[in-house]
Amino acid sequence: MWLQKEMSLKVKKRGFHLITDEILQQLPEIEQLKVGLLHLFIKHTSASITLNENADPTVRQDLERHFNVLAPENAPYYEHIFEGADDMPAHIKSTLIGSNQSIPVTNGLLNMGIWQGIYLCEHRDYATARTLVVTLNGE
* This prediction's pTM: 0.96
Domain boundaries along the sequence of the chain: 2-138
- For residues 45 and 11, give the distance between their C-alpha atoms in angstroms, rounded to a whole number: 16
Alpha helices in 52-113 (DSSP H): 57-70, 87-97
The predicted structure's pLDDT at residue 97:
98
Q: What is the CATH number of domain 2-138?
A: 2.60.120.460
The stretch 93-110 carries a mean pLDDT of 98
Q: What are the distances in angstroms from CA 55 to CA 60, 65, 71? A: 10, 18, 26
Nearest CA to 112 out of 99, 101, 96 is that of: 101
How does the average pLDDT of the chain come out, rounded? 97
Tens-place pLDDT, residues 12-47: 999 999 999 999 999 999 999 999 999 999 999 999
Helix axis angle, 57-70 relative to 87-97, nearest 10°?
120
* Cβ-contact 128, 38 below 8 angstroms: no
Percent of the chain with pLDDT over 70: 100
